[in-house]
Amino acid sequence: MADPVYLLDSNICIYVLEGGGSSLRDQIERCTPGEIVISSISYAEVMRGIPALEADKIEKAERFFDFFGVQEFSRAAALCYRDIPFKRGSFDRLIAAHALSLGLVVVTNNEDDFADVPGLKVENWTN
């Protein structure tokens, strides 16, 4: 299995779970197993958005997260978070910090949410 390279933002996780687009699917299929991971922050954000009574959606999401793997938010990520400029959207800031701490590229559909984070690499696979 390859080392992680990409960290999927929550909006990309949701996009995939809802069927995604061909551009996104193509990019994911080009990756070697293990190159794409998901932050425990995105896991929390996505799972919070699924109503507890919708067992089929919960099960689908859990399979998705199990397939890619969830990276735990670490002390190193917390220290990176400390150094990121404050802005509304703290989930995005935590995801950015997590990516920086692991040296990963954030894959998002909202590049503007991450544009002011120094040193962060961002890609949009939806267009």
Query: In this structure, what DSSP letter does residue 114 have?
Result: T
CATH number attached to the domain at 6-123? 3.40.50.1010
Asked whether the beta carbons of 6 and 117 are under 8 A apart, the reply is no
Query: In this structure, what DSSP letter does residue 125 have?
Result: -
Pairing of the two strands 36-39 and 122-123: unpaired
Name, in order, each residue with C-beta under 8 angstroms of 98's C-beta and a sequence gap of 6 or more.
7, 39, 41, 71, 73, 74, 77, 80, 104
Coil, strand or helix at 122: strand
> Is 0.75 topped by the overall pTM?
yes
pLDDT at 30 exceeding the cut of 90: yes
Res 5: pLDDT: 97
Q: What is the pLDDT of residues 62-108, one digit of tens each?
A: 999 999 999 999 999 999 999 898 776 689 999 999 999 999 999 99
Q: Which two tokens stand for residue 126?
A: 């939806």
How confident is residue 27, by pLDDT bands cut at 50, 70 and 90?
Answer: very high
DSSP H or E segment with residue 38 = strand 36-39
